[in-house]
Amino acid sequence: MNHDSPTSSTLQDLIHAEREIPTLPREQTVRMFDRLAAQLPLPAASTVSQAPVESAIAQAGLRTKVFGLGCLLLGGLGGAAATRALVPSSNSTTSNPVVTRVEIVIHTASAEAVPPSAPPEIQATASSSNPRNHSNPPKKQEPPKVSNDLKRERLLLETARAALQRQDSASAKAALDEHARAFPNGQLSEERTILLRAADAIRP
Amino acid sequence: MSAVDFVMGDGVLRQAQDVDVSARESPPSVDFRALFEREVSYVMRSLRRLGVAERDLEDVTHEVFLAVHRRLGTLDASRPAKPWLFAFALRYASHYRRSDRCDLPIEHAPDVRATEMGAEAVLERRDKQQLLLDALEAIDLERRAVFIMHELDDVGCQEIARSLGIPIGTVYSRLRLAREDLESAVKRLKAQRGYR
């Protein structure tokens, strides 16, 4: 192992396996949020779910089953009543009746409810979020391009690391040169510099 | 103020109760529910990698997000949220590891994709995941945190330094040492378990 300690292929294999851990099932996410909502001035997830479902699908890459459920829910955007009817029957496991929609409170009253007291903050949050849920999807905070760039950066540096592991400085430098051309000021440029030094240290 | 200012302070992890996280810094501009829905899986994964047992993951994640909610006003929406959240996870994992709750061994994470893969592939992947978790257990928490952020979460070294409030050189140093420690731990564990 040289001074830069590039990751071995064995370790890379383990890292690859660990990266494959899936996202949480939608039901668990809703249940966990409802637990938080019982302690915080928030509306329960199981009572206003359209926008987060879309957001979760777009950004967390939920699988087909959940996506189907999301489509089902989003399909009801044109008719709020239809959507309200779908939400509790398909997706709610627990709920917090701290909501402004009387219909949902009635539907979920028999679930594992958390006794609410609705402070003004809750009312404001719930009512201000509703119009957005029915018209405009929430903004994505992390544009996919950033993530893709980072993945490409990482891939190039992993290639360089693997080459260094084989003492193949030419291949390592080629990958690092490509990284320098594509991402002169990339997020991993500091590591590129270090790997380049490691490549220079290898005697041909 | 970065998350680190209260998470790691002068570089030494402090007890959770040492820091008052009850005060909201400023009115949050971030939608907490959207943040939760987007990142709860990430926070749970991070806690697991930081040594929180499967049976306690939901509880500790709950505690993390209670703190996140209180500090939401300190989140810079122009920066990635994951490193900021990781700092919370690190602090709560550190606190957890000093508590009585982590006396029992860490077990496998449930694999909800098992039905989509062959049983052999699932078992092989689980073995690898468990091997990595066990190897991570063998290394210092601060090094482990840097390794997880960089190698598993694709966070750049500069961002790690910013999030954890440590110099960039320390990030490189911890990363290098973490890799070395991890390589040794993996070799040792594989030999013990009779893996090739």
Q: Which residues contact B83 (CB under 8 A, 6 or more apart)?
A: B149, B153, B155, B159, B160, B162, B163
DSSP lists the bridge partners of residue A113 as A95
How close, in Å, is residue B132 to chain A by CA atoms?
6
- What pLDDT, in 10s, does the model give residues B111-140? 444 445 566 777 788 888 889 999 998 899
How far apart CA B156 and CA A150 sit, in angstroms, is 9
How far apart CA B55 and CA B182 sit, in angstroms, is 25
pLDDT at A43: 72
Please answer yes or no on whether B40 and A188 come within 8 Å at the CB atom.
no
DSSP lists the bridge partners of residue A94 as A112
pLDDT at B66: 94
Closest CA to B81 of A26, A32, A138, A59: A59
> What DSSP string runs through B10-68?
TTSPPPGGGS---S--S---S-HHHHHHHHHHHHHHHHHHTT--GGGHHHHHHHHHHHH
- What pLDDT, in 10s, does the model give residues B146-184? 999 999 999 999 999 999 999 999 999 999 999 999 999
pLDDT at B74: 87
How close, in Å, is residue B34 to chain A by CA atoms?
6
Tokens (6 digits) for A32: 């966990």
pLDDT at B102: 59
How close, in Å, is residue B5 to chain A by CA atoms?
23
Check whether B34 has a pLDDT greater than 80.
Answer: yes
Q: If contacts are CB pairs under 8 Å, which of residues 67-126 in chain A contact chain B? A: none
- What pLDDT, in 10s, does the model give residues B36-50? 999 999 999 999 999
Indicate the pTM of the whole model: 0.53
Share of chain B above pLDDT 90, in %: 50
For testing contact with chain B, the best of A14, A33, A57, A185 (most B CBs within 10 A): A14
How many residues are present in chain B?
196
Between B145 and A52, whose confidence is greater? B145
- What pLDDT, in 10s, does the model give residues B53-107? 888 999 999 999 999 999 988 888 888 899 999 999 999 999 888 876 655 555 5
Between A82 and B26, whose confidence is greater? B26
For testing contact with chain B, the best of A36, A98, A130 (most B CBs within 10 A): A36
pLDDT at A60: 39
Residue B193's pLDDT band (cuts 50, 70, 90): confident
How far apart CA A71 and CA B2 sit, in angstroms, is 38
How far apart CA B143 and CA B150 sit, in angstroms, is 11
How close, in Å, is residue B26 to chain A by CA atoms?
16
A185 to chain B, any CB pair closer than 8 A? The answer is no
Nearest to A194 among B38, B81, B172 (CB): B172
pLDDT at B166: 93
Check whether B8 has a pLDDT greater than 70.
Answer: no
Inter-residue contact A192 to B192 (CB < 8 Å)? no
Nearest to A25 among B33, B112, B182 (CB): B112
How far apart CA A68 and CA B112 sit, in angstroms, is 17
Nearest to B62 among A3, A36, A194 (CB): A36
Q: If contacts are CB pairs under 8 Å, which of residues 150-169 in chain A contact chain B? A: 150-151, 154
On whether ipTM exceeds 0.85, the answer is no
| Full pLDDT tens readout for chain A, 204 residues | 333 455 678 888 888 888 887 788 888 999 999 999 888 877 766 665 444 444 433 443 333 333 333 333 343 344 333 333 333 333 333 344 333 333 333 333 332 333 333 333 323 333 333 333 334 444 445 444 556 787 788 888 888 887 887 778 888 888 888 888 888 888 787 778 878 888 887 766
pLDDT at B175: 94
CA dist list (Å): B135 to A96, A162, B35, B128: 41, 21, 31, 10
Nearest to A32 among B61, B183, B186 (CB): B61
List helix spans (H) across A61-183: 64-74, 80-90, 102-108, 120-134, 144-165, 169-182
